[in-house]
């Protein structure tokens, strides 16, 4: 049977290793989101992941490398989710619909990956750290999806042409994250739909009573 690597120096990262790394990610996210990076020890992370301390160093090289890898792992998941929520451009969806869809995806993502979201938000405002670049990349990528959408909407006249889409994108981003995390913190019992609905109604005001090209004019709730 075909071995997966015919060539010798290929590094496919064995299945075993992959599992270990995922466990370490999960343990690290949980602990660091609650306590912060500095307050979380490598021993704790290893312990929670059910591996020995040395394994962390074997797999990642060090605490900060683990953390960086963890955040990159996080970005990928978030960016993929948001991009996946974008309807194919050019399809006949109503102007505001794509925006609402992306925001919903954001809310759902935070609901499902709460710890990761907390961790990223807590780290997002420190300008001095080694991994600031990584954090910035996350923000840029996530906000970029929203901003890009706003650009499209201003281009086709659904939004005022002089809208500062960069600022608006960051505003919407902050809005979604804050609302979603407050929801998880203070009223976790509320269903996602309710939260998303309330958010969508607010945003609807932004996109405005747009001359929607036919379709249900958002009154079916």
Partner DNA sequence: GTTTTTGAACTGACCAGTCAGTGCAAAACT
Partner DNA sequence: AGTTTTGCACTGACTGGTCAGTTCAAAAAC
Interface residue with DNA among 22, 34, 36, 58 (CB under 7 A) is 58
16 binds, among DNA, a second copy, none (CB under 5 to 8 A by kind): DNA
Interface residue with DNA among 2, 3, 130, 219 (CB under 7 A) is 3
DSSP 38-63: TTS-HHHHHHHHTS-HHHHHHHHSSH
Interface residue with a second copy among 77, 122, 144, 148 (CB under 8 A) is 122
Site map 5..24 versus a second copy, x via CB under 8 A: --------------------
Long-range contacts of 178-182 (CB under 8 A, 24+ apart): 179/107, 180/106, 180/107, 180/110, 180/111, 180/117, 181/110, 181/114, 181/117, 181/118, 181/121
Interface residue with DNA among 22, 34, 36, 64 (CB under 7 A) is 64
- How many residues of this chain bind a second copy (CB under 8 A)? 56
Interface residue with DNA among 26, 48, 55, 115 (CB under 7 A) is 55
Q: CA-based Rg of the chain, rounded to a whole angstrom?
A: 21
Closest approach, Cβ 38 to a second copy, in A, equals 3
Contact 149, 102 (CB under 8 A): yes
Closest approach, Cβ 180 to a second copy, in A, equals 9
Query: Nearest 10 degrees: CA dihedral of 103, 108, 113, 118?
Result: 50
Closest approach, Cβ 63 to DNA, in A, equals 3
């Amino acid at each position: 049977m075909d071995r997966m690597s015919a060539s010798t120096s290929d590094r496919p990262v064995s299945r075993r290793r992959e599992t270990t790394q995922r466990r370490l990610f999960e343990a690290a996210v949980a602990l660091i989101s609650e306590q912060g990076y500095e307050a979380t020890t490598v021993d704790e992370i290893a312990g929670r992941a059910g591996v020995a301390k040395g394994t962390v160093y074997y797999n990642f090289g060090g605490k900060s490398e683990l953390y960086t890898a963890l955040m990159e792992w996080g970005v990928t998941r978030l960016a993929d989710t948001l991009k996946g929520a974008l309807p194919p451009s050019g399809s006949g969806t109503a102007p505001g619909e794509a925006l609402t869809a992306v925001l919903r995806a954001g809310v759902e993502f935070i609901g499902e990956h709460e710890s990761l979201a907390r961790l990223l938000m807590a780290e997002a405002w420190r300008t001095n750290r080694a991994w600031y670049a990584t954090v910035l990349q996350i923000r840029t990528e996530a906000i970029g999806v929203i901003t890009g959408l706003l650009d499209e909407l201003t281009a086709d006249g659904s939004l005022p042409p002089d809208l500062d889409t960069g600022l608006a994108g960051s505003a919407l981003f902050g809005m979604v994250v804050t609302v979603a995390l407050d929801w998880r913190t203070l009223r976790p019992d509320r269903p996602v739909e309710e939260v998303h609905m309330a958010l969508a109604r607010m945003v609807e005001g932004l996109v405005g009573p747009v001359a929607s090209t036919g379709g249900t004019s958002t009154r079916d709730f």
